[in-house]
């Protein structure tokens, strides 16, 4: 009898614990904005997310800022509408599941459907054109002139750039000019306000001198490495506050390595993804 009574007491205690714990556990499994964003990032189909809203206690933040955040994260409008209509905190989703457009690619999951919000760092231009002033310090002499480049980007961090520059000075009444024609890869780190980049270039350099209608020119291979920083004024325009390059040229059979070039100007951007 004692054993039977002990079993009854233990069973009653366990039953009470279960009845107390289950509602408490269910109460913690409340669906929030973070849960929606996590499911979107995980690539779940929209129908699954809508069904989850219909069958779960909900505590959504439906403020304008929260809804804009979900939109920027790629949450489709049908899911955002279900969040708005889900009701007060702690209630389950109300109303029938929202109907999605027929062309919405739910079979591939939301991960393939998300797009970067306009102006976000995930966007990048297909082409960038730079033009501005240039200062060259070469073998102890100062040159001033112009500089430009055309870059094509096939990834938000990787592209190819053609870089051109011309600088001029006078030495004892003789006009001297220096030109660079370079090409190579560029690697960029894009932020909302700034874009930083580095590049490694190769090509040709041309140096000339002229006096009273008589001029001579010499050319040879050139190498350059450097980088710069652009301040983004908008999606299509930026200010290049600095481009600094170490330029090496081989003229008349000798490598000249004491060449530093500085450029600044305006960047125009085209295309985007």
- Which residue ranges in the chain fall short of pLDDT 50? 3-4, 6-7, 10-11, 14-15, 17-28, 90, 93-98, 100, 104-114, 117-119
For the record, the structure tokens of 21 come out as: 């714990």
For the record, the structure tokens of 143 come out as: 């040159």
Quote the pLDDT of residue 164.
96
Quote the pLDDT of residue 2.
54
Quote the pLDDT of residue 103.
52
Phi, psi (rounded to 5 degrees) for 182: -130, 155
In the chain, what are the domain boundaries? 31-112, 127-270
Quote the pLDDT of residue 97.
46
Quote the pLDDT of residue 27.
47
Quote the pLDDT of residue 247.
95
The structure's pTM equals: 0.56
The CATH class for the domain spanning 127-270 reads mainly beta
Phi, psi (rounded to 5 degrees) for 9: -65, -45
- With a CB cutoff of 8 Å and minimum separation 6, the contacts of 63 are none
The string of pLDDT tens digits covering residues 34-88 is 888 988 888 888 888 888 888 888 888 888 888 898 898 889 988 888 888 875 5
Helical H segments across the chain, by residue range: 2-28, 33-41, 46-55, 64-72, 77-84
Quote the pLDDT of residue 273.
62
Q: Are 85 and 53 in contact (CB under 8 A)?
A: no
Quote the pLDDT of residue 94.
46
């Amino acid at each position: 009898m004692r054993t039977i009574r002990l079993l009854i007491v233990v069973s009653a205690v366990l039953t009470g614990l279960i009845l107390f714990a289950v509602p408490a556990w269910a109460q913690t499994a409340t669906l929030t904005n973070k849960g929606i964003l996590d499911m979107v990032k995980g690539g779940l189909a929209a129908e699954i997310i809508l069904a989850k809203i219909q069958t779960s206690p909900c505590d959504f933040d439906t403020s304008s800022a929260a809804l804009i955040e979900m939109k920027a994260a790629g949450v489709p409008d049908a899911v955002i509408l279900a969040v708005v209509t889900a009701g007060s905190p702690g209630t389950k989703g109300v109303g029938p599941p929202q109907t999605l457009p027929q062309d919405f690619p739910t079979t591939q999951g939301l991960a393939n459907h998300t797009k970067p919000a306009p102006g976000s760092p995930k966007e990048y231009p297909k082409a960038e054109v730079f033009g501005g002033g240039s200062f060259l310090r070469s073998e102890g002499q100062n040159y001033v002139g112009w500089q430009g480049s055309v870059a094509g980007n096939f990834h938000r961090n990787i592209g190819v750039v053609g870089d051109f520059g011309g600088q001029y000075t006078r030495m004892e009444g003789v006009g001297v000019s220096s030109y660079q024609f370079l090409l190579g890869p560029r690697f960029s780190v894009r932020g909302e306000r700034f874009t930083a980049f580095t590049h490694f270039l190769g090509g040709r350099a041309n140096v000339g001198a002229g006096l009273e209608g008589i001029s001579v020119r010499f050319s040879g291979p050139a190498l350059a490495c450097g980088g710069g920083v652009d301040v983004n004024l908008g999606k299509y325009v930026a200010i290049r506050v600095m481009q600094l390059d170490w330029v090496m040229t081989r003229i008349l059979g000798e490598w000249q390595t004491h060449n530093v070039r500085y450029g600044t100007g305006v960047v125009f951007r085209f295309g985007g993804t």
